[in-house]
Amino acid sequence: MSTEGYGKLQDPKMVVLGLVGIGLRYGFEMEEFVARTNMRLWAKIGMSTIYKTLKELEREGAVAGKRTASEKGPPRLAYSLTAEGRRRMVGLIEDAMSSREPVYSDRIAGLVFAPLMGADAVETLERTAEGLQRSDSDLRRELESRDGDVIAEAVIGYYREVYAAERRALKKVSAMLVRTSTSG
């Protein structure tokens, strides 16, 4: 499922602080949680970003890392929020919740200029709409697996509505292109 363009966080500190805040202590646990919850749908956060951000937050005093023994391999670093980290996490959450930043989409930007593609535009728009339909179906299945998870329902519902709105926009532009090609 594509995640390009939608509200991706440029600063992953809120996400990493939040992951530590919900009790995830190790970077690999955070990566597993991100993958399991499809967090990449709305947050640009990869494994290397998690570890890099943990190190930055540790240098800044927002998290404390403590070496713990590992059954396999070298000791691991277990992270916890410091008082400063909790304060920053709350501040970043408040900032995010009050953001008036628009949602950007490369797909919609492309749609604006699709008529410049000439004869290929309608086929491209149809393929794009089909891809969005597949992504929406993936989201529907994901939502069904999250029975009773209100936050997942809210986030997944948001993206399903975005995909539906994009499909409507694609359909309108495609219809306009078909009309202009047959009347011209």
Work out the pLDDT band at 118, boundaries 50, 70, 90.
Answer: confident
Q: What is the pLDDT of residue 1?
A: 38
Instruction: Look at 21-35, 55-69, 80-94, 101-115 and tell me which has the smallest mean pLDDT.
Output: 101-115
Indicate if the alpha-carbon torsion angle 49, 50, 51, 54 is positive or negative.
positive
pLDDT-derived band at 10, boundaries 50, 70, 90: low
Number of domains the chain is built from: 2
pLDDT at 44: 82
Higher pLDDT, 87 or 100: 87
Last residue of some domain: 97, 123, 139?
97
Reduced 3-state DSSP string for 67-110 = EECCCCCCCEEEEEECHHHHHHHHHHHHHHHCCCCCCCCHHHHH
| Res 74: pLDDT | 86
> Does the structure show a pLDDT above 80 at 3?
no
Q: Cα(65)–Cα(79) distance, rounded to whole angstroms? A: 4
For residues 149 and 91, the answer to whether their CB atoms sit within 8 Å is no
Write down how long the chain is: 184
**72 and 89 inside one domain:** yes
Which uninterrupted H or E stretch holds 63? Answer: strand 63-68
Question: According to the model, what pLDDT value does residue 6 have?
Answer: 43
On the question of pLDDT at 9 being above 60, the answer is no
Within-domain flag for 28: yes
Residues 132 and 84 occupy one common structural domain: no
Confidence of residue 31 (pLDDT cuts 50, 70, 90): very high
From the list 28, 128, 13, the residue with the least C-alpha distance to 81 is: 13
pLDDT in tens, 34-76: 888 878 877 888 899 999 999 999 999 999 999 998 888 888 8
For residue 5, being part of any structural domain is answered with no
Mark whether 72 and 144 lie in a shared domain.
no
Report d(CA 61, CA 84) in Å as an integer.
7
User: What pLDDT sits at residue 36?
Assistant: 83
Q: Are residues 121 and 142 in the same domain?
A: yes
157 found inside a domain: yes
Task: Name the domain boundary from 97, 119, 152.
Answer: 97
**Is residue 167 in a domain?**
yes
Distance CA 4, CA 20 (A): 25
**Which residues lie below 8 Å from residue 3, measured CB to CB, with a gap of 6+?**
40, 41, 42, 44
- The boundaries of the domain holding residue 150 are 106-183
Do 17 and 81 reside in the same domain of the chain?
yes
